[in-house]
């Protein structure tokens, strides 16, 4: 991704936007959406929005897997990686899609189906990992490394 995100907001509501990411297959349930950007706001870090370029109202909260305990890179097949250009491990950026429940005050992460980005080609895809220890609604607090809060 671009080291210096583009700034497309007023000073009072500043957002940093990544270069466009191409999702050739879209995302499950959103197959018609092929281009996304990451949107970052200082007050929300480390959380990001994965926002559709075609429909800016369609955005998913995400967090980098690298910030959490449960890592997924070892479980992503070469076949899945080939669909985004077979990146080197250093060029893979995995993210969990989050679900926020304001009533319960909880955040869960979909560890079973991370989004992976090839940071060289700017291609992405959501992969489904067939592992029993991964779930679609893992409480984020269970994934935060010791000594940090969520």
Alpha helices by DSSP H, listed for 21-99, are 78-82
- In CATH, the architecture of 6-142 is Roll (2.30)
Residues 8-54: pLDDT tens digits? 444 445 678 889 999 999 999 999 999 999 999 988 999 999 999 99
Is pTM beyond 0.95? Reply is: no
CA 64, CA 95: separation in Å to the nearest integer?
4
Say whether the peptide bond before residue 46 is cis (omega within 30 degrees of 0): yes
CA 131, CA 144: separation in Å to the nearest integer?
20
Q: What ranges do the domains of the chain cover? A: 6-142
Segment 95-121 mean pLDDT: 96
Our CA angle for 144, 63, 1, nearest 5°, is 135
């Amino acid at each position: 991704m671009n080291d210096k995100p583009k700034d497309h907001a007023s000073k009072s509501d500043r957002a940093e936007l990544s270069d466009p990411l191409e999702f050739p297959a879209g995302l499950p349930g959103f197959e018609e959406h092929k281009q996304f950007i990451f949107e970052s706001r200082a007050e929300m870090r480390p959380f990001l929005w994965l926002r559709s370029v075609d429909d800016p109202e369609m955005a998913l909260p995400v967090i980098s897997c690298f910030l959490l305990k449960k890592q997924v890179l070892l479980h992503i097949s070469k076949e899945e990686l080939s669909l985004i250009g077979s990146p080197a491990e250093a060029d893979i950026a995995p993210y969990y899609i989050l679900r926020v429940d304001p009533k319960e005050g909880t955040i869960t992460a979909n560890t079973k189906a991370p989004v992976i980005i090839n940071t060289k080609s700017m291609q992405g895809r959501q992969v489904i990992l067939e592992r029993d220890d991964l779930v679609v609604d893992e409480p984020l607090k269970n994934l935060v490394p010791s000594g940090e809060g969520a």
